[in-house]
Chains A and B, each alone.
Chain A
Amino acid sequence: MPQVSMTVNGKPATGDVEGRTLLVQFLRDTLHLTGTHVGCDTSQCGACLVHVDGEAIKACSIFALEVEGAEVTTIEGMANADGSLNTIQQAFQDHHGLQCGFCTPGMVMSAAALLKENPKPSETEIRDYLQGNICRCTGYHNIVKAILAASGQETAIAAE
């Protein structure tokens, strides 16, 4: 079986995988990092979103062997060094940006990628960026508010 090596949340990670092993399977089944969720497994929902070399990637739609040598960040790598929630995570809590929480890891990873690209996104830009992240619970309003708050902006949004 081929071996794969990558850096996950700053730590080296190595394991045996098959050609068909998806990154999300390697993260969850081999590394036991179960914060990265599988919602659809058909590339639609974004619950599996992680960062690979800083870019937002759906971990259900990339093979582990494609990530050889890369730096991966998952939701487990997002908290502050002292274990407290980072700004985006805290904003999701403060603004009730989650209900069941299933989509939340993907939402937080997506939001982090957005804010890196665009530190003060408008409401429209946030909604546009989150097109690939599906939430069955919140109706998105509070997710958008949380991201506005995390970027230091007013959280008043237009009712839709």
Chain B
Amino acid sequence: MYAFEFERPGSLDAAVKALQEEDAQALGGGQTLIPTLKQRLAMPSKLVSLKGIAELQGIAQEGDVLKVGGGSTHGAVARETKGIFAGLSLMASKIGDPAVRNRGTMGGSLANNDPAACYPAALMATRGTVVTNTREIAAEEYFQGLFTTALEEGEIITSIRFPLPEKSNYQKFEQPASRFPLVGVFVAKYGDRVGVGVTGASEDGVFAWKEAEEALAGNFAPEAVDDLWVSAEGMMSDLHGTAEYRAHLVKVMTKRAVAAAE
């Protein structure tokens, strides 16, 4: 690791200010950033830890929306959304392992936007909103491809807002060595629509599988997607799975998620 200064501000204002310094970078749970620093793939002059900021904590239902503080750990999300939002709780409970879940945060995961990260699938399926220190960004504008988001330099994710579905589920086809999904599909059913968010599959990162959303809105059953076909074009291909294999998994995971939705 290159050397850097470490700062732990106690308020959002102080963190925003600290991040204005040239080459300062936010540190959430460090479960992605610390390994990155070890490989010398980043060279911040200063790390600004967001762990001591009360404004980034807290998970609460506000009417038909679930608000999750950007600094909430995966463990807290798993525990505190049980019974409110089954799919999200299940998703969080399967991220990495218990120690990763005790440190890693939702804000950090969404800011990083790994093409195989779990939360982007939930945010896309629900058409949720990322709230920052300056603005609100809708899911479809937020994700801009691999490791790329609409966030500006120094912008902090303060909370995430998910419209609460009637039923939801997440199916993660796990790549056992990394414990990331090879393909993950989140399904969210509302009174008037269905959302299907797919992660791990496309070269452009998370996407909404719109044909399946339409078909499932008419008939929320696994068979509703039987006649649909996911093209392998633009799917990721690596030693863990070909583009064709991933395309096939998208459909299989969607059907499983619909069948398991609660």
Chain A residues engaging chain B, CB cutoff 8 angstroms: 2, 18-20, 22, 41-43, 46, 49, 55-58, 60-63, 65-66, 68, 110, 113-114, 129, 131-133
**Chain A CB within 8 A of B9 CB:** no
B6 beta carbon closer than 8 Å to chain A: yes
B34–A61 CB distance below 8 A: yes
| Chain B residues proximal to chain A, CB less than 8 Å | 1-6, 8, 30-31, 34-35, 37-38, 46-47, 49, 51, 96-100, 102-103, 179
- Bound complex: CA of A19 vs CA of B100, how far in Å? 21
Residues of A within 8 A of B35 (CB): 42-43, 61
| A-B residue pairs in contact (CB < 8 Å), sample of 22 | A2-B6, A18-B3, A19-B5, A19-B6, A20-B1, A20-B3, A20-B6, A41-B38, A42-B38, A43-B34, A46-B99, A56-B102, A57-B103, A62-B103, A63-B6, A65-B8, A65-B49, A68-B8, A131-B97, A131-B98, A132-B99, A132-B100
CB distance from A6 to the nearest CB of B (A): 14
Contact present for B30 and A132 (CB under 8 Å): no
Q: Is the CB of B30 within 8 A of A20?
A: no
Known contacts A61-B30, A110-B98, A114-B98; 4 further A-B pairs (Cβ under 8 A): A2-B6, A22-B34, A66-B6, A132-B98
Does the CB pair B8–A58 fall under 8 Å? no
Nearest Cβ on chain A to B97's Cβ, whole angstroms = 3
Q: Which residues of chain B are near A65, meaning CB under 8 Å?
A: 6, 8, 49
Cα(A43)–Cα(B100), bound, Å:
8
Q: Which residue of A lies closest to B45 (CB)?
A: A19
The reply to whether A56 and B47 contact each other, CB–CB distance below 8 Å, is no
A57 to B99, Cβ gap below 8 A? yes
In the assembled complex, the Cα of A55 lies from the Cα of B98 at a distance in Å of: 9
Chain A facing B: main interface SS: mixed
Task: Tell me, rounded to whole Å, the shortest Cβ–Cβ distance linking B170 to chain A.
Answer: 16
Report chain A residues within 8 Å CB of B51.
66
A66 pairs with B5, CB closer than 8 A:
no
Residues of A within 8 A of B98 (CB): 56, 110, 113-114, 129, 131-132
In the complex, what distance in Å separates the CA atom of A41 from the CA atom of B38? Answer: 9
Contact B4 A19 (CB under 8 A): yes
Pick from B3, B8, B34, B97: contact of A62, CB under 8 Å: B34
B240 to chain A, nearest CB (A): 16
The CB with the most chain A CB atoms within 10 A, among B4, B49, B97, B179, is that of: B97
Residues of B within 8 Å of A132, CB to CB, are 96-100, 179
B178 to chain A, nearest CB (A): 8
Asked if B3 contacts A61 (CB within 8 A), the reply is no
Bound CA span A115–B187, Å? 33
- Of B6, B49, B96, B103, the most chain A CB neighbours within 10 A belong to B6
Query: Please, how many angstroms separate the alpha-carbon atoms of A60 and B6 in the complex?
Result: 17
Q: How far is the CA of A114 from the CA of B97 in the complex (A)?
A: 12
Cross-chain contact of B37 among A20, A55, A57, A131 (Cβ < 8 A): A20
Q: Which A residues lie within 8 Å of B6 (CB)?
A: 2, 19-20, 63, 65-66
Complex CA gap A65/B97 in Å reads 23
Q: Which residue of B lies closest to A50 (CB)?
A: B99
**Which residue of B has the minimal Cβ distance to A4?**
B6
A22 to B35 Cα, complex, angstroms:
11
User: Are B30 and A63 interface neighbours, CB within 8 A?
Assistant: yes
A56 vs B73: C-alpha distance in the bound complex, in angstroms?
13
CB distance from B148 to the nearest CB of A (A): 23
B121 to chain A, nearest CB (A): 20
Q: A19 near B103 (CB under 8 angstroms)?
A: no
Assembled-state Cα–Cα distance A136/B174 (Å): 21
CA distance A155 to B62 in the complex (A): 46
- Contacting residues, chain A, for B8 (C-beta < 8 A): 65-66, 68
- A110, B99: Cα distance in complex, Å: 9
